[in-house]
Amino acid sequence: MRRAVFPGSFDPITLGHYDIIERSLTLFDEIILAIGVNSEKKYMFSLDERKHFIEEAFKNEPKIKVMTYRGLTVEFCKKQNANFILRGLRNPGDFEFEKAIAHTNRQMSDIETVFLLTSSGKSYISSSIVRDVIRNGGDVSKLVPETVLVK
């Protein structure tokens, strides 16, 4: 079975994330959307809210599981018997950052990182931009799945 873990804080999930997830469904038998928990980080949305947004967005997709984890992503992958880490790339800066992480993960395990480029119409979207728009009372309806708008 080709099982991938797509890790992230998903604070909140964006249409960029959604794009990568939808397009990766043909590549993997199962995708675990793994919400990383970092007690040092200040989140806009609670862990339960973030998990709910994702579960609702993909409630009709049996190939997707939503889980939370703490610690190293490669250790989580091993526990889930996942041989792949899925990552989305929006720009060259993302590539340089993600490449270093992928090389480190590869040194620690035999888990491969698979990169997908975000569709051109979604490449400008980031969770930090979405949070900023929300904080300032802007309309995020073209940036996030409908499940985030219900908040």
**pLDDT one-digit tens code per residue, 99-113:** 999 999 999 999 999
- Residue bearing the bigger pLDDT, 100 or 150: 100
**Average pLDDT of every residue of the chain:** 93
- Which residues, other chains included, contact 3 with Cβ-Cβ below 8 Å and sequence gap of 6+? 28, 29, 30, 31, 32, 80, 81, 82, 83, 84
- Cross-strand partners of 36: 69
User: Active-site residue numbers?
Assistant: 17, 41, 90, 127
Is the separation of the CB atoms in 87 and 114 below 8 Å? yes
Asked if residue 86 has pLDDT above 80, the reply is yes
